[in-house]
Amino acid sequence: MHNLKLLLVSLALVIWAQELSAKHIIGGELQYQCLGEGRYNIIMKVYRDCREQLMAAPFDGEGFNDVGAYIAIYRGSSLVQNIRVPLQNKRFIDAPDYPCLIPPDNLCVEEGVYQFEIELDQWPSDQPYTIVYQRCCRNNTISNIVSPGDVGATFAIEISPLSQELCNSSPVFSSFPPTVVCVDNNIDYDHSAMDRDGDSLVYRFCTPLIGGGLAGGPDDPFGNTTACNGIRPDPPCPPPFGNVTFKSPYTFAAPMAGDPAVKIDPATGLITGTPMVIGQFVMGVCVDEYRDGVLIGSVSRDFQFNVADCDPTVFARVKSDATVGEKEYVINSCGNNTILFENESVLEQYIDTYRWEFDINGETMTLDSRDAEVTFPGVGTYRGTMMVNPGLSCGDTAEVYVNLYPSIEADFAFEYDTCTVGPTVFTDMSMTGAERIESWEWHFGDGGMSSQRHPSHIYTTPGDHVISLTVGDNNQCFDTREIPISYYPVPEQILVEPSSFVGCSPGTLLFDNISAPIDSTYDIQWDFGDGTSSFAVSPRHAFVEPGRYSIHLSIESPIGCYIEETFNSWIEIRESPVSAFSYSPEEPSNFNPTVRFFNESQNHVSQQWIFGNEGRSLENNPTFTFPDTGVHQVALIATHENGCIDTSFQEINIVPRVTYYMPNAFTPNGDGKNDVFIGKGYTVGMRDFELTIWSRWGELLYSTNNPEEPWTGSRNNEGETLPNGVYVYQVKYIEPRGEQVEFRGFATLVR
């Protein structure tokens, strides 16, 4: 158990050390303020990548039981102080506000501040004092240095002998560089610093310093070690410090790929240039402090530029009929010289102003509204521009081309017979100011179409149809005209299927009205010649009495068109026999499966009996023996002399019966006569049989589930011989159709 505890503790320390070595350092700086008499206020700022997906380590002093940052003070190369500085405060660095671009929103930079006072042991000294902090590690995705994830950073500042003598305070950077810059866009960042003493400042790119590494102390949960490649050396190692190694073609003076190259103005600290490669780039900026032309000190900042692909914020767009390329919009108008230009530019929250400019007969018309309405002098082609945020770097421009063509007007006429089915003839009457009309597109409202100039169309369905004609001319101008038509003629001829019918009474048939065009809006009346009628389009009717019937049908359309027709002696209904029969016995069973059938049919000359699948007969009153129990369907087909038939059906139930009877006495004396007690009967189909024998005092003496097994007069047929007397028996069983049978009686045993 003790070894297990040690293993768990060691594992926890390794995990903690791995967390502390997470790749997160993206920059840092140190500054000092002279308070007099060798006392200085030291401020250190450390910047880390705080994106959640990186699982970045916390600042020193944030973790459990973490005493803070390890900071060393060297005089020359001699260690004079090694202190632990707690984290004083931290804050998130706001993303830059680009007026024309939207940077990625997944970046996160956090600043941790450590502030403390020191008192130099010898002041002023003829040797410089160096305050130093070292920490692993940098982001392993950095693009411009070698093995960035394996090394950390050194943040150090030197207080020179002359600076001590003058009680000088270091310059202080005014702001932190932007957390992200956009690729292929200009950098214009003021990296200047302020100096409390009014000294002259000179800016330059310098080499970032390395410090710390992936080596950890196995006995220390914070992973610190006296080696300079520890996760956070304790104490931090003395100067001189190593430099990061840049990947070719990058250098400390050209840390980013740009066109123009990224550079810093030595007099103002303004960083300019246009980065052309997406990635993360480490750079160092040093500020040299001069007084009366003499260098008295330097301060440096090590930081990481994130170059990302940013989305533009504004796009000039115009609603149009067509586009040419990305920024040219074409609007066509036929016969209308007043055009409403609809602005579809985005993103509106970044747009402050709009401007439209149109060249009309050599003069420029300008409008400053979002949308614009312009009346042009006549037919022709006009050019204009639409600008968003004109005059600003965050702007965009669209070219607009307006083609004004002569008017075109679609029109047509049609002619048809309102009551008689026939073609509808259409006549094109369209006009255009262009050279010619080149296309006609007709839609007749019932799914029919045509591209002819003067088409004709036959409607197969009645109704209110909307006819549409779209015409187009050689300028690709189009116009559409719609005209409704009420088409409700009656059929040219009444057609009904079947055209004749001969059947037996009762005769039922469907009158399928295939006359066209008709639908449910028509007034349709049927007279079936038997005193009945119908108003359905295609009715079903049953003729009961024999005879010949004439059918009359009239059709009237919703607009009053009318047609009628009588079909004389169209339906012939012949007399049918009536099939019927009875049988005896009324309850046949397996003991009596022979049934006598009696034909009671009327108006028939012959008959046929069908006894299920078991047999047939042509006799008038046949007798039939059913081969098995169960329900059997018997059919009697009676035939009239005219050939009409009628069929009747009945189900004959052959009941399966079981009989079982018990004697009232037996003599088990071995004489071969009445020696056992056993029931008699027909037991085929019997289920769940049980016979039990009881004494007069309720003692169970014998039981069996086999109706063929007798009781021998002894206990359980194998025990003691029971004495003479009266015993009680009980019989239970289930008949073939599930009926339960139970009865009791007395069995007298006499020896």
Task: Give the neighbor-by-neighbor strand order of the sheet with 449-450.
Answer: 449-450, 437-443, 463-473, 478-487
Q: Cα separation of 350 and 394, whole Å?
A: 9
Residue 212 has a pLDDT of: 84
Residues 111 and 180 in one domain: yes
Residues 13 and 90 in one domain: yes
Overall average pLDDT of the 296-312 stretch: 89
Residue 359 lies in a domain: yes
- Structure confidence by residue, pLDDT tens digits, 591-646: 999 999 999 999 999 999 999 989 999 999 999 999 999 999 999 999 999 999 99
Residues 523 and 482 in one domain: no
Residue 251 lies in a domain: yes
Residue 659 lies in a domain: no
Residues 693 and 637 in one domain: no
With a CB cutoff of 8 Å and minimum separation 6, the contacts of 391 are none
Q: Among the three residues 263, 280, 308, which one is the final residue of a domain in this structure?
A: 308
* Long-range contacts (CB closer than 8 Å, 24 or more residues apart) made by 8-17: 12/221, 13/218, 13/220, 13/221, 16/63, 16/221, 16/222, 16/223, 17/216, 17/221, 17/222, 17/223, 17/231
Q: How far is CA 128 from CA 30, 31, 206, 518, in A?
A: 15, 15, 20, 111
Q: Cα separation of 53 and 55, whole Å?
A: 6
Q: Are strands 181-182 and 294-308 parallel, antiparallel or unpaired?
A: parallel
Overall average pLDDT of the 717-744 stretch: 92
Closest CA to 622 of 582, 589, 649, 652: 582
Task: Give the neighbor-by-neighbor strand order of the sheet with 78-85.
Answer: 78-85, 69-75, 129-135, 153-159
Q: Are strands 456-457 and 463-473 parallel, antiparallel or unpaired?
A: unpaired
* Helix, strand, coil fractions of the chain, as percent rounded to 5: 5, 50, 45
Residues 472 and 511 in one domain: no
Hey, what are 450's tokens? 């045509």
With a CB cutoff of 8 Å and minimum separation 6, the contacts of 7 are none
Residue 705 lies in a domain: yes
Average pLDDT over the chain, rounded to whole?
A: 90
Residues 87 and 224 in one domain: yes
Q: Rounded to the nearest 10 degrees, how much is the dihedral formed by the CA atoms of 233, 238, 242, 244?
A: 50
- Among 12-21, 331-340, 537-546, the least confident range: 12-21
Q: How far is CA 560 from CA 252, 522, 533, in A?
A: 99, 9, 21
Angle at 34 between CA 29 and CA 39, to 5 degrees: 105
Residue 216 has a pLDDT of: 65
Q: Please state, as a whole number, how many other Cβ atoms lie within 10 Å of the Cβ of residue 56.
A: 20
Burial pattern 72-90, b for ≥16 Cβ within 10 A else e, equals: bbbbeeeeebeeebebeeb
Angle at 356 between CA 352 and CA 361, to 5 degrees: 165
Residue 8 has a pLDDT of: 29
Residue 100 has a pLDDT of: 66
Q: Could you tell me which residues are beta bridge partners of residue 333?
A: 404
Q: Could you tell me which residues are beta bridge partners of residue 387?
A: 355, 397
With beta carbons less than 8 A apart as the criterion, state whether 105 and 96 touch: no
**Which percentage of the chain shows pLDDT scores above 70?**
93
- Looking at the structure of the chain, the number of domains it has is 6
Residues 372 and 299 in one domain: no
Hey, what are 604's tokens? 């028939």
Residues 53 and 128 in one domain: yes
List, as one string, the DSSP characters of 96-116: P--SSEE--S---EEEEEEEE
Residue 407 has a pLDDT of: 95
Residues 360 and 509 in one domain: no
- Structure confidence by residue, pLDDT tens digits, 434-461: 999 999 999 999 999 999 999 999 998 9
Residues 303 and 334 in one domain: no
Residue 22 lies in a domain: yes
- Structure confidence by residue, pLDDT tens digits, 215-261: 765 555 455 556 778 888 889 999 999 999 999 999 999 999 889 99
Task: Give the neighbor-by-neighbor strand order of the sheet with 270-273.
Answer: 187-190, 270-273, 263-264
Residue 22 has a pLDDT of: 44
With beta carbons less than 8 A apart as the criterion, state whether 744 and 727 touch: no
Q: How confident is the model at residue 25 (pLDDT cuts 50, 70, 90)?
A: confident
Residue 282 lies in a domain: yes
Q: How far is CA 4 from CA 7, 187, 219, 301, 417, in A?
A: 5, 57, 17, 47, 105
Q: How confident is the model at residue 50 (pLDDT cuts 50, 70, 90)?
A: confident
Coil vs helix vs strand at 15? helix
| CATH number for the domain harbouring residue 507 | 2.60.40.10
Return the CA Rg of the chain. 56
Residues 243 and 386 in one domain: no
Structural domain that includes position 269: 2-308
**Which percentage of the chain shows pLDDT scores above 90?**
75
Residue 660 lies in a domain: no
Q: First vs last Cα of the chain: how many Å apart?
A: 87
Residue 546 lies in a domain: yes
Closest CA to 705 of 722, 683, 737, 676: 683
Residues 54 and 96 in one domain: yes
Coil vs helix vs strand at 271? strand
| CATH number for the domain harbouring residue 681 | 2.60.40
With beta carbons less than 8 A apart as the criterion, state whether 313 and 350 touch: yes
Burial pattern 262-287, b for ≥16 Cβ within 10 A else e, equals: bbbeeeebbbebbbeeebbbbbbbbb
Q: Among the three residues 405, 427, 462, which one is the final residue of a domain in this structure?
A: 405
List, as one string, the DSSP characters of 509-565: EE-EE--SS--TTSEEEEE-SSS-EE-SSS-EEEE-S-EEEEEEEEEE-TTS-EEEE
Which helix (H) or strand (E) is 8 found in, with range? Answer: helix 2-20
Q: Among the three residues 368, 385, 405, which one is the final residue of a domain in this structure?
A: 405
